[in-house]
Amino acid sequence: TLHPLAQPVGTTLDRYIMQRQSAFAYATGELSQLLRDVALAGKIINREVNRAGLIDLTGGMGSENVQGESQQKLDVIANIRFKRALTNGGEVCAIISEEEEDIILTGNNQGKYVVAMDPLDGSSNIDVNVSIGTIFSIYRRVTPIGSQPTIDDFLQGGHEQVAAGYILYGSSTIMVYTTGHSVNAFTYDYSIGEYLLSHADLRTPATGTIYSCNEGNRNQYDIRVQEYLTHCQQQHYTARYIGSLVADFHRNLLKGGIYLYPPTTKNPQGKLRLLYEAYPLAFIAERAGCRATDGQQSVLDIEPHDLHQRTPLYIGAPAMVQSLMDHLQPGL
């Protein structure tokens, strides 16, 4: 039987958001509007991604982002598009982005929400027609409405997210998000320009047989992580690694698997960013029955102190994460 709030597969994203909103008496509609703004920006990025090869939008711009990585042109475009959509919407007072060092003030000081985002993740895959994604995380601000937002609005901790999601530009484009209840996925239908509910109340399998990491870094991993990888191979698990976090996460969410980005010599804190990569995926993961850890603690429990802080990330089917933890912390 359908849950009373459940919507049938095929419902448009807009209708779904509206119906969810009316189901929760306290909802004022601002978060709904914000989610629609994100979805709209996703449509625009999707269009740019699809025609990137045609109009020569790809290729490095010669500039580097705040993490010192060379920036692809589409990253810049996605960043601009998202900022514009979130600013025009009016609900968001500030944004942080992987592409920018500082807080971005939208000027909407009446807005109740702040958004942390990676506008286009998987930058090494942009030029080569491989899946890439957008990740977003939404908080209700803690500074007074009407004042200028500050870094405190973003350093609330993973449990305080009010919504989180991603858009995967893959063989089809799909938006997956949660407002803290169920996780739902909406596949974009080009012919009508709408996202349609395709996966209602997503739950990950309890265990799986896929492991995903950059095995080129294997010798740099802690010996216990290496031992876990050996275990995966002894179990004849399948190795799958795209190098786009959103795509790797999405596949493992649906099929059952574990994604690992351990500390390396180059990135002793891990490579991935806490606020706009690890937190939002961990928030989704936990609502879909997965686990997410940095090897010591649950990702959502990590104390945030810096907008661009990095973290190791192990995320996936609960039994697989448990098995990894058994290797990392034997005897506990």
Q: Residues marked as binding for Mg(2+)?
A: 98, 118, 120-121, 277
**Residue 121 interacting with ligand AHM (CB under 6 A):** yes
Write down the least CB distance from residue 123 to ligand AHM, Å.
4
What track of x and - describes contact with ligand AHM for positions 146 through 185 (by CB under 6 A)?
----------------------------------------
Nearest-10 crossing angle of helices 30-50, 13-23: 160
37 binds, among Mg ion, ligand AHM, none (CB under 5 to 8 A by kind): none
Neighbours of 5 (CB within 10 A): 12
286 binds, among ligand AHM, Mg ion, none (CB under 5 to 8 A by kind): none
**For residues 196 and 254, which CB has a smaller minimum distance to ligand AHM in the complex?**
254
Query: 88 has which bridge partners?
Result: none
Amino acid at 22: S
Dihedral sign from CA coordinates of 28, 34, 39, 44: positive
How big is the site for ligand AHM, counted in residues (CB under 6 A)? 13
**For residues 145 and 239, which CB has a smaller minimum distance to ligand AHM in the complex?**
239
Helices assigned H by DSSP within the chain: 13-23, 30-50, 73-89, 223-234, 245-255, 279-287, 318-328
Write down the least CB distance from residue 274 to ligand AHM, Å.
13
Which residues fall within 8 angstroms of residue 331, CB to CB, at 6 or more apart? none
**Residue 244 interacting with ligand AHM (CB under 6 A):** yes
Annotated binding-site members: 98, 118, 120-124, 214, 241, 259-261, 271, 277
99 binds, among Mg ion, ligand AHM, none (CB under 5 to 8 A by kind): none
Which residues fall within 8 angstroms of residue 32, CB to CB, at 6 or more apart? 17, 18, 20, 21
Interface pick for ligand AHM out of 28, 70, 124, 148 (rule CB under 6 A): 124
Write down the least CB distance from residue 124 to ligand AHM, Å.
6
Annotated binding-site members for substrate: 121-124, 214, 241, 259-261, 271
Query: Contact residues for Mg ion (CB under 5 A)?
Result: 98, 118, 121
Chain positions 257 to 316 lying near ligand AHM, rule: CB under 6 A, are 271
* Cβ-contact 257, 251 below 8 angstroms: yes
**For residues 118 and 153, which CB has a smaller minimum distance to ligand AHM in the complex?**
118
Longest dimension (CA), the chain: 58
The span of 37-45, 86-94, 241-249, 297-305 binding ligand AHM (CB under 6 A) equals 241-249
Q: What backbone phi and psi angles, to 5 degrees, belong to 195?
A: -90, 135
**Residue 69 interacting with ligand AHM (CB under 6 A):** yes
**Residue 123 interacting with ligand AHM (CB under 6 A):** yes
**For residues 91 and 118, which CB has a smaller minimum distance to Mg ion in the complex?**
118
Which residues fall within 8 angstroms of residue 12, CB to CB, at 6 or more apart? 194, 195, 196, 197
Beta strand segments in 262-308, E? 272-273, 291-293
* Cβ-contact 292, 249 below 8 angstroms: no
* Cβ-contact 50, 209 below 8 angstroms: no
For residue 304, give the DSSP letter. P
243 binds, among Mg ion, ligand AHM, none (CB under 5 to 8 A by kind): ligand AHM
Provide the binding-site residues for ligand AHM, judged by CB under 6 A.
Answer: 69, 98, 118, 121-124, 214, 243-245, 248, 271
